[in-house]
Amino acid sequence: MKRLLKRLAARLYFHYLHRPPHYLFKRVDEISAANQAQQILLRMRYEDLVHEKRRLPPFDDVEFSVYSQAGEDGILWYIFSLVGTTNKVVVEIGAGNGIENNSANLIVNHGWKGFLFDASPSRVRTAKEFYGAIRQTRIWPPTIQHAWVEPANVNEILSQGGVVGPVDLLSLDIDGIDYWVWEALAVIDPRVVVVEFNNLWEAEDCLTVPNDPNFRAVYNSPHGADYSGATLGAFVKLGARKGYRLVGCQRYGFNAFLVKNSVGEDLLPAVDPRSCLTHAFAVHARTVRHESIKDKPWVKV
């Protein structure tokens, strides 16, 4: 089943890269029905495992990407298959072009209501074109807004964008002052949070870039932003203050999943942050890429 989902995702990205947009939209319509059916069967299997009180698989075994960067779609589908949903609302800050992110699979294939924010006008235009054209969302597309989100305005932007109160999912990835934005965020109450963290540090390091709204990430390697964001330890510590526990990461060790303490604690127990940084990609980040950013300005939290 995972192999099928990967093949479907590969087909989608091939056509996205090599065909005009209208062709992509047609392919999404064709692919989505089969993809959605496979995921529904997968959810039913997860539910059976819970009902039968059998061993649940680790995150590494449930990853798949339809729209996400590196397996996040599969992990999120697994989490919500176990803990259920309340309102199927997802807020994504740093949603990119709407096609490659952590909310698209839930919006396109499972009817979630999305509130997507991004700082790039061109990416916002692409997202609006995409969701406004495909069959699954053109009748009621997600709310997509161009916004430069920072701690001082995050609550106002979300409130004015029409989203407050309980939500099922918050995804945060702005390659910058992510820690400070989540710390300031108060108008929504997510059950699950996924954050991209800086994996160039050890799990016990609690560091973030300074709280500067003009901060810009530094890219020293082809693997992404080196000087940016906050460490896993910082997010775990902040999450604990806000009432969340770390339940795992995707295998490459740069996206962390935190669940509200009142939600599914028997099914998704807290994990040791060190277990999230064992892949060779994360080891390389800490041993090779770390050298270029270790003396940059960091704030201990």
**Range list of β-strands (E), 44-99:** 89-93
Neighbouring C-beta atoms of residue 211, cutoff 10 Å: 16
Q: Which superfamily does CATH assign the domain made up of 83-300 to? A: Vaccinia Virus protein VP39 (3.40.50.150)
Q: Does position 167 have pLDDT exceeding 80, yes or no?
A: yes
The full set of domain ranges for the chain reads 83-300
pLDDT at 218: 82
What is the pLDDT averaged over residues 134-157? 95
> Strands 188-196, 165-172: parallel, antiparallel or unpaired by DSSP?
parallel
Neighbouring C-beta atoms of residue 33, cutoff 10 Å: 12
pLDDT at 51: 94
* Cβ contacts of 276 within 8 Å, gap of 6 or more: 203, 232, 246, 248, 249, 253, 256, 282
When pLDDT is cut at 50, 70 and 90, the band that residue 23 belongs to is: very low
Amino acid at 110: H
What is the pLDDT averaged over residues 7-23? 43
Q: Does position 135 have pLDDT exceeding 80, yes or no?
A: yes
pLDDT at 3: 54
**Closest to 223 in 3D by CA, of 246, 254, 262, 182:** 254
Amino acid at 255: N
Q: Does position 171 have pLDDT exceeding 70, yes or no?
A: yes
Residue 227: left if φ>0, alpha if ψ -120 to 50, beta else—which one?
beta
The answer to whether the Cα torsion of 93, 96, 101, 103 is positive or negative is: positive
Report the percent of the chain where pLDDT is more than 90.
Answer: 82
Can you tell me the distance from the alpha carbon of 186 to that of 164, in angstroms, rounded to the nearest whole number? 9
The string of pLDDT tens digits covering residues 199-225 is 999 999 999 999 999 998 888 777 778
pLDDT at 28: 54
Between the alpha carbon of residue 96 and those of residues 120, 128, 144, 154, 239, the distances in Å are 8, 11, 10, 17, 24
What is the pLDDT averaged over residues 147-155? 97
Residue 60 is given by DSSP the state G
Between the alpha carbon of residue 139 and those of residues 27, 103, 142, the distances in Å are 18, 18, 10
Q: What is the pTM of this model?
A: 0.88
pLDDT at 219: 84
When pLDDT is cut at 50, 70 and 90, the band that residue 27 belongs to is: low
pLDDT at 12: 43
Q: Does position 2 have pLDDT exceeding 60, yes or no?
A: no
